[in-house]
Amino acid sequence: MKNDILKDTTLIFDLDGTLVDTAPDLIATLNHVLSSIDCAAAPETHIRPFISFGARRMIVEGLALGGVSLSDPETDALFDAFLDHYASNIAVASAPYPNLHSALDSATEGGARLGVCTNKREDLSLRLLRELKLHDRFRTVVGRDTLDVCKPHPRHLTEAIARAGGDVARSIMIGDSPTDVKTARAAGIPVVAVSFGYSEVPSAELGADVVIDDYSQLMDVLPRVLNK
């Protein structure tokens, strides 16, 4: 790939399941709070597809699996306990996906601007990225509560592009879920899906322009996506 192919291009990444495998710490936190109410631990294989829907959905699924019924206030309390524990254990076992660093290096060297658009809370997103020494890679991090809208609303993505100093006409979304693809389509930009994330829909059925199985493939597919 020519070194200048990404000049003036903005790449906006989802976070959980796209940049970072956060499942180990999220599921450990889930099982920590479930144990506090004597609910059986939820296996990772069951919970993993629900991570992209957020902590509350993980809790609901874990409770259902354990046969425990809670009132809304009790679920709210469990959710608050989840966030407190997770904030203190956000990067115990979470890690960037293989070959991510080299892909980000190549994109930056090629002139691309990088940003994050995630439905994870902004403070938690920043904490995670700092703990993993990824924060300085990105010009902006736009979280669930940064704006008055979040994905799949297209303004969540277009504002992330703007804050990164980019142009919607020269931008690409990289994500792992139907929500990411829907957001990109609504914003009118192409989207690359990763197959290693948390989607309950098979990656080939997400409707992305391209699917990659490893970040070593990213730089090879970007010219094709940009030319669409």
Write down the mean pLDDT value for the chain. Answer: 95
Name the band, by pLDDT with cuts 50, 70 and 90, for residue 227.
Answer: confident
Helix axis angle for 100-109 and 218-226, nearest 10°, is 50
Widest Cα–Cα separation across the chain: 57
Cβ neighbours for 1, distance < 8 A, ≥ 6 positions apart: 110, 219, 220, 222, 223
Q: What are 19-73's pLDDT values in tens digits? A: 999 999 999 999 999 999 999 999 999 999 999 889 999 999 999 999 999 999 9
pLDDT tier at 228 (50, 70, 90 boundaries)? confident
Q: Is the pLDDT of residue 1 over 50?
A: no
Of the residues 4, 14, 25, 136, which is catalytic? 14
Q: How far apart are CA 63 and CA 70, in angstroms?
A: 8
Query: Residue 152, preceding bond cis, omega within 30 degrees?
Result: yes
Q: 198-222, pLDDT tens digit by residue?
A: 998 999 999 999 999 999 999 999 9
Residue 220 designated active-site:
no
Cβ(164)–Cβ(113) under 8 Å? yes
**Residue labelled with tokens 């829909």:** 201
